[in-house]
Amino acid sequence: MSESHQKGITALEILLGVAILGILAVIVLPQFSKIKENQVLKNTVGDIISTLHDAQSKTLASVNSSSYGVHFQSDRIISFKGVVFSANDPNNKTVNIAGPANISNVTLAGISGTSGDIYFERLSGAPDKTGTITISTPSASKIITISATGTVSVN
């Protein structure tokens, strides 16, 4: 009598392995997508805060003897020189917002009315408007608040 041992993988073992990998993919892939979305939201909030601080710092330093401001659009923020945004100014600095994040709401009001622009006063660094900017992704949102002193905070 001779014993016959077969070595190798059976079709059933292959199917079981594929099924386990499929179940893991269904569980793990949505989590990676959500992690990426949250990172994009954090980066966008950081870009907006950095741009606001940069405009305020340039204003306080009287760079080119001017005020500086920030213009908000749904898919970008634009740093500008002066107290009025001009889309054609070659000195504008644009920061594009990566999808799926976007600016879903800008509520700024102050001395110069209501608009999607804010600039900083030269001597004090105070903003001409106060209010909120809402950044959204499909599953989350953050609200940036600009106070009368120019302090920027996030909810």
The full set of domain ranges for the chain reads: 11-154
Rounded CA separation 101/91 (Å)? 26
pLDDT tens column, 9-48: 888 889 999 999 999 888 887 778 888 899 999 999 999 9
Rounded CA separation 155/142 (Å)? 6
What's the average model confidence in pLDDT over 97-124?
84
Cis peptide before 100 (omega within 30 of 0): yes
Q: What is the CATH number of domain 11-154?
A: 3.55.40.10
Rounded CA separation 8/14 (Å)? 11
> CB–CB of 83/67 below 8 Å?
yes
Q: What is the pTM of this model?
A: 0.79
